[in-house]
Chain A
Amino acid sequence: MQDAANLKDYRKQLREALENEFQRQALDKFAVAYRTSRSNAFAGIDAPELIAEIAAAKDAAVDHLPELFEEFKRHAEAAGTKVHWAATAHDANEIIGAIAKENGVRTVVKSKSMTAEEIHLNDHLEGQGLEVTETDLGEWIIQLRHEGPSHMVMPAIHLSRYQVADLFTEVTHKQQDVDIQKLVKVARRELRPKYCQADMGISGANFAIAATGSIGIITNEGNARLTTTLPRVHVALAGIDKLAPTLHEALRIIKCLPKNATGQAITSYVTWITGAVPAASAKDGKKVHHVVFLDNGRMAMARDPEFKQVLRCIRCGACANVCPIYRLVGGHKYGHVYIGAIGLVATYFFHGREKARNLVQNCLNCGACKAVCAAGIDLPTLIKEIHARIQDEEGHPLYSKAVGQVLKNRTLFHTMLKSARLAQKPVTGGTPFLRHLPMFLFKDHDFRALPAIADTAFRERWEKIRPRVDKADVKVALFSGCVQDFVYPEQMEAAVAVIASRPGVAMDYPMGQSCCGLPLMMLGEKKAAKELAAHNMNAIDAQGFDYIVTLCASCASYLKHGYKRLFKDDPAMAFKAAQFTDRVIDFSSFVHDVLGMADESFAGPAKDVTYHAPCHLCRGLGVTEAPRALLRDAGLNYLPAAEEDVCCGFGGSFSVKFPELSKELLRKKIDNLKATGATAMATDCPGCIMQIRGGFEHDGTTFEVRHVAEYLAERLKRK
């Protein structure tokens, strides 16, 4: 459970987590294995379609939760179940506590329930003098250790067999062997008597089917079947978001959930319980059966147009499985009770601002979670949104406000960059330019060398290099982004040369353009980001162009998707934003798909080159083929690297706030690149280039790191 008081403490906790070798290796191994098992599990299934089906069904249900509740209640009560609505965590605890009291319950067995974790049910029942035993192996282990789960599906993934053997030795008072198969058998035997003795069983519910008043529970161990069978009382606790109109929706989710969670086709058990079933232990031979639905902020969320998609979550845990941050620090540092990307969002709603404040800053915006989510939730955007909300509620930190002020004033920002250029003059070598922006007052940057600001910005070169085109078939506006404008103008020049090699393409570089505004979103400065977006949309009159081409994957993805979102509630601006975003395209797609440039355009000696897929290109824009095809067409020998599409750790201001994490991600990236045997790498994002080139420089390895445009430009066939 993450509970740091401030960002400084949180970073300290993160550093400690980084030192946990066992956990790091376990999560690394899992992340790699998960990829393969997931894609095997979905082989032959149209995963995007299934996910869209689930998202649509969930959205429809979320709009009718009160009606579904009434329908569920009617059917369940007809079958002998008592149904409750708990408005808050406190209410849910009270209701379940009262059920225990009125049935003379003294011992309780539980099968896994994240919702019970959410309301800290065990604490409440134990406070009432009850003995509560978790029966899911992982949950039992963490219960005995008095800690929370570190993964939603595998709660004890952070522990080694040695730790479990020690724990079981303590519990059984017998020396236990460090053998997983044996430890599992010990747990089996130790837990069996608990079921026999228990008066009450508590389970969660993956589904609550309104049409029949049934619940569905997904498990592998089968403990839910014993928990719901042996004790005379059964209470199921479910978030109201678990309501589904019919079995139809549940069957779709079952098709997806285990595959997305662990790559299993289906879990060993799916249990469907309707009403009060026969139970020999009960007085009248019928189970005392209750279902408690928990609101705890869910209804408010259901009414929030931005956040209602959170209620689609089916708790598969995939968003943690693929998250590069989770993989480094584990669930106890990457969530409060709910962990992973969804945990960052859920924590704010279920456990409050206090618990979420630090967590939501610890996101690279890499989009890996969104790409894998079983319910199609736009997690990275929601995480940023919460960050912005928290700052709106609590006041914005000085540095982030200052950055907002600077960035949204183009003249001031550009003047500052120019004076930074002058200031670095007397210093030889790579003066870190980032230090000259007010936000970058943090230390700990020495893991990568940062580039200096270029002598002449691209905007100052433009008039001299701009190609004159008499008869234009295609009109293009270039959007440079700050980094290419001021740090890497040569990348822009290369792009201009490549595009100009095609006759009939007229290029313009509208001078009024400024930073795209993504760094402000990363800092939670949504208002300033919006002003900046409006500024850029004015500076580049979209109607005058067929395409707005950018070489920066982050800018491209943000211009395309972010701008639309910013203005979705403002009809006039939304129209303008649509005109603008529809024209935005990344450099590689433009050159490959629109200009149709292929091998006949290029010549040059063969050369090994590997590739880094920028998050905002491969996931943000779904562009994977164009850059690779161009490299091959240009006669380069493209050598794929392991985990090519995993974030390099840049994440804009992220790398400044969490340098230790950024450094680790960079180290992995560099290792994977080196392992290809190539000594050159191409990519499509100046941020990634800054990070990776800096990493190699710091490392002392000679490795060429350049933009795809630069490789293409040097291989253009001269006419």
Chain B
Amino acid sequence: MPTSLSLVDRMQEKAVLAAAVVSKVASMDEAIAYVADVCANKEACQILASGCAEPLSDTAEELCRTKQQKIVCAPDMPEDVVAKLAALCEERGIAVITKGMRKRLGGIDIALTMAAAGIAETGTIVVRSTDEEVRLATMVAETHIAVLPAGAVVADSYDLEDRMAEWMAGPDYTAFITGPSRTADIERVLALGVHGPLELHLLILEGN
């Protein structure tokens, strides 16, 4: 029964329903290891920016050449996290960057972000992306991995009203993200990853 589930379990259940991949992690270190693993284990062909394998017009083809290496982008993450991630990735030949997304529009492998809140009712994460690098990373990456502190999960969007109103008091760009980018515009057949990430991973960070 959903009513007997804790908020976090409900969050997980609903996010999975929206096609997100959800795991619980005990620490930031665990999250970092997860990111490095996902990136390292991506199939060779998935190093290609999504769609590159299809027959494309010459202009669209052009953009694919901008991608030569596996890349993780971790914009707006604490320095120590980036440093640890970089160390872990380096040995596997993965580059870790924190900015310059405009030069990577062909696609990158992974964007790592922190979610400001989670909405259990729909399995939605709230990502503050006023920082343009965050906004772009979470759209350009093929896999978006978001770390969501368990304590930041609320029951439904109504609970966020006051906080959001505060954020919106000045220039602000906030996103509700629920599962990967999707479309059903052709024959109502669901296809994931039309403009944004093909996958959304949620790492629910337990404890403090």
Contacts and interface: CB of A to CB of B under 8 A. Distances in A.
Interaction A to B: yes
B63 A272 contact: no
A223 B167 CA distance: 23
Contacts of B49: 189
Interface stretch (A124-132, A246-254, A693-701): A246-254
A662 B183 CA distance: 34
Interface stretch (B4-12, B28-36, B77-85, B158-166): B158-166
Contact of B51 (A80, A188, A268): A188
Contact of B171 (A180, A181, A223, A274): A274
A502 interface: no
A172 B194 contact: no
Given A191-B195, A192-B106, A269-B176, A183 B186 contact: yes
A278 B196 contact: no
A277 B105 CA distance: 20
A9 interface: no
A402 interface: no
A30 B185 CA distance: 12
Nearest to B58: A173
Contacts of A260: none
B130 A188 contact: no
Nearest to B174: A272
Nearest to B175: A271
A216 to B, nearest CB: 9
A137 B194 contact: yes
Interface in B166-200: 167-189, 191, 193-196
B88 to A, nearest CB: 28
A268 B193 CA distance: 11
Contacts, number: 221
Given A180-B191, A221-B183, A189 B130 contact: no
Contact of A185 (B17, B50, B132, B185): B50
Interface residues of A, number: 79
A272 B172 contact: yes
B171 A80 contact: yes
Given A137-B185, A222-B195, A274 B172 contact: yes
Q: In the complex, which range does the number of interface residues on chain B fall in? A: 35 or more
Interface in B10-47: 14, 17-18
Interface string B60-78: 1011100000000000000
Nearest to B164: A247
Given A222-B196, A266-B178, A268-B181, A30 B188 contact: yes
Given A184-B183, A220-B181, A272-B173, A135 B54 contact: no
Interface string A191-203: 1110110000000
Contacts of A186: 51, 54-56
Interface in A196-227: 196, 209, 211-212, 214, 220-223, 225-226
B3 to A, nearest CB: 9
A175 interface: yes
Given A222-B196, A226-B195, A229-B132, A214 B168 contact: yes
Contacts of B181: 220-222, 268-269
Contacts of A171: 57
Contacts of A33: 188
Contacts of B98: none
A225 B139 CA distance: 8
B202 interface: no
Contacts of B170: 79, 274-275
A494 interface: no
A174 B14 contact: no
A195 B173 CA distance: 18
Interface in B132-152: 132, 135-136, 138-139
A229 B136 contact: yes
B64 A189 contact: yes
B55 A176 contact: yes
A403 B106 CA distance: 67
A182 interface: yes
A276 B170 CA distance: 9
B55 A180 contact: no
Contacts of B54: 176-177, 182, 185-186, 189
A4 interface: no
B199 to A, nearest CB: 12
A661 B193 CA distance: 39
Contacts of A225: 135, 138-139, 175, 195-196
A137 B186 contact: yes
Interface string A266-294: 11111111111111110000000000000
A425 interface: no
A182 B54 CA distance: 7
B53 to A, nearest CB: 8
- Central interface residue in B157, B170, B187, by most chain A CB within 10 Å: B187
B172 A188 contact: no
A390 interface: no
B191 to A, nearest CB: 4
Contacts of A549: none
Chain A interface main SS type: mixed
A268 B184 CA distance: 12
Contacts of A226: 139, 195-196
Contacts of B194: 137, 184, 187-188, 221-223
A625 interface: no
A421 to B, nearest CB: 52
B137 to A, nearest CB: 11
A269 B182 CA distance: 10
B52 interface: yes
Contacts of B187: 26, 159-161, 180
A68 to B, nearest CB: 16
Contacts of B174: 271-272
Nearest to A225: B139
A157 B181 CA distance: 19
Contact of A26 (B53, B121, B188): B188
Contact of A189 (B56, B132, B177, B185): B56
Given A212-B168, A229-B139, A266-B124, A188 B175 contact: no
B102 interface: yes
Nearest to A155: B185
A137 B183 contact: yes
A177 B14 CA distance: 34
Given A186-B55, A212-B168, A220 B173 contact: no
Contacts of A211: 165
A268 B168 CA distance: 21
A141 interface: yes
Contacts of A270: 175-176
- Central interface residue in B51, B53, B102, B105, by most chain A CB within 10 Å: B51
B179 A277 contact: no
Given A135-B195, A229-B132, 12 more contacts: A26-B188, A157-B185, A161-B187, A188-B195, A189-B56, A190-B60, A192-B63, A209-B168, A212-B168, A251-B158, A273-B173, A277-B171
25 contacts: A29-B188, A154-B184, A156-B185, A157-B185, A188-B50, A189-B50, A190-B60, A193-B62, A214-B172, A222-B139, A222-B194, A222-B195, A225-B175, A228-B173, A246-B161, A251-B161, A255-B157, A265-B18, A266-B122, A266-B176, A269-B181, A275-B171, A275-B172, A277-B132, A277-B173
Interface of B: 14, 17-18, 49-57, 59-60, 62-64, 102, 105-106, 121-124, 130-132, 135-136, 138-139, 156-158, 161, 164-165, 167-189, 191, 193-196
